[in-house]
């Protein structure tokens, strides 16, 4: 039985990658800074992300939890010692073909730096470039539980939100199967939706009309900084990312999820219906 390493295994995508690898019959070694609280499926070996002690594996799923590229040389070096294959989930906003220093936002710059290191590492690599996660809409959950309005900036910003489980399905396919070495897969959900439209879709899915209320970016910044549930260190990164997306060409849907998994990418409506309780509604 092959063993696969999953970094960030308690996270939005990593947890799904672990679950899917287990279902596929693989042995899984997963990293968490708090192994005893990881809550991963039985049989999964949970280790701390100690680079001296990763153990040899067939392949590794890597996401980037850091807010710079600084840890990358050590991490990629450790991967080279312990595996031959890496699937790296890169950050939103990386423009392929541009050097790291030419990328449009700090988040894109450090992810592009990690991509470059991996691509030059000698490892067999695959980069997955997902669009905005549907799970990001949980940032609105408190407002939705409290009323019918979601306040935020860049309501007309178009996105192609993707279900985190679709990213995981592609990750497992590329990690465990042949034919993806040296490939960069752009993953999106099945439709283009502005942020304001996403709020409407969630409303339909939970059976309650919801609407967007536009805030100027500086008011949104103050609102997010005052929100204890939102990581303060991420506020400026998020708003810079939105500004860069607003200046970039509008996003397009790709068929990669369906092409690689054999089933259509999930809709936001279905995702929201499945997460209705998080928005204060009964599951429909
Ligand atoms: N959100 C989006 O729309 C979007 C879109 C495209 C790409 N991305 C990219 O996806 C990545 C985030 O993925 P995700 O949302 O699945 O991750 P996540 O849920 O934010 O975090 C994954 C895990 O990383 C671990 N972690 C956090 N800080 C760490 C640190 N300093 N050192 C070691 N481990 C740490 C945590 O596990 P423990 O606490 O158990 O250690 C956490 O559960 C980022 O690179 C982001 O740019 C996001």
Domains and CATH numbers, the chain: 3-132+163-188+252-263 (3.40.50.720)
Whether the CB of 65 sits within 6 Å of ligand 1: yes
**Top mutation candidate among 5, 7, 8, 166 for ligand 1, by most atoms within 8 Å of CB:** 8
Whether 118 and 100 have beta carbons less than 8 Å apart is answered as no
Of 82, 182, 73, 88, nearest to 127 by C-alpha is: 88
Question: What's the pLDDT score for residue 283?
Answer: 57
Cα dist. 82→46, 120, 166 in Å? 16, 17, 27
**Residues 50, 164, 214, 211, Cα dihedral to 10°:** -140
Nearest CA to ligand 1 atom 42: 11
Question: What's the pLDDT score for residue 6?
Answer: 98
Could you read off the pLDDT tens digit of each residue along the chain, which spans 284 residues? 899 999 999 999 999 999 999 999 999 999 999 999 999 999 999 999 999 989 999 999 999 999 999 999 999 999 999 999 999 999 988 999 999 999 988 899 999 999 999 999 999 999 999 999 999 999 999 999 999 999 999 999 999 999 999 999 999 999 999 999 999 999 999 999 999 999 999 999 999 999 999 999 999 999 999 999 898 889 999 999 999 899 988 999 999 999 999 999 999 999 999 999 999 987 55
């Amino acid at each position: 039985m092959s063993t696969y390493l999953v970094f960030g295994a308690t996270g939005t995508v990593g947890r799904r990658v672990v679950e899917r690898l287990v279902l596929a019959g693989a042995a899984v070694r997963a990293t968490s800074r708090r192994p005893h609280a990881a809550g991963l499926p039985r049989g999964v070996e949970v280790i701390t992300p100690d680079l001296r002690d990763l153990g040899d594996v067939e392949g590794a799923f890597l996401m980037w939890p850091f807010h710079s590229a600084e840890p990358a040389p050590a991490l990629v070096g450790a991967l080279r010692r312990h595996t031959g294959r890496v699937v790296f989930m890169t950050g939103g906003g990386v423009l392929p073909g541009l050097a790291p220093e030419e990328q449009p936002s700090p988040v894109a710059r450090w992810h592009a730096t990690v991509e470059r290191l991996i691509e030059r590492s000698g490892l067999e690599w695959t980069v997955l470039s997902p669009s905005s996660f549907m799970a990001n809409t949980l940032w609105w959950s408190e407002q939705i539980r409290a009323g019918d309005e979601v306040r935020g900036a860049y309501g007309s910003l178009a996105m192609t939100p993707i279900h985190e489980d679709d990213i995981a399905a592609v990750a497992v396919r590329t990690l465990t199967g042949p034919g993806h070495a040296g490939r960069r897969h752009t993953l999106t959900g099945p439709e283009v939706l502005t942020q304001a439209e996403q709020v409407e879709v969630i409303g339909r899915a939970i059976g309650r009309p919801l609407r967007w209320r536009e805030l100027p970016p500086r008011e949104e910044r103050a609102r997010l900084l005052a929100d204890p549930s939102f990581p303060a260190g991420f506020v400026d990164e998020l708003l810079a990312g939105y500004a860069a997306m607003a200046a970039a060409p509008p996003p397009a849907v790709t068929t990669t999820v369906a092409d690689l998994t054999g089933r259509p990418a999930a809709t936001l409506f279905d995702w929201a219906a499945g997460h209705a309780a998080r928005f204060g509604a009964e599951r429909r």
